[in-house]
Amino acid sequence: MAHSPERPKLYVCTDCQLVYAGTVAEHVEGGSHVYEPPAECRVCDSTSFVETSQWPHRHD
């Protein structure tokens, strides 16, 4: 069986809309991972992030 690389979760800063790759927070049995957003946006210092999959559904 061919190996398929795992894609990290992506997070959008809700203030400046910069996209970040999540950081591995935990290794799950079976080889997958749990990801978390950065603590702070390096551009605007915001601490508010949403997963890219939820970005279209976000309401202010």
- Quote the pLDDT of residue 7: 87
Give the contacts of 17 (CB within 8 A, at least 6 positions apart).
none
pTM exceeding 0.85: no
**Token pair of 6 as six digits:** 């795992």
E strand or H helix at 26: strand 23-27
Which pLDDT belongs to residue 2? 59
Question: Which sign, positive or negative, has the C-alpha torsion 11, 17, 20, 26?
Answer: negative
Low-confidence ranges of the chain (pLDDT < 50): none
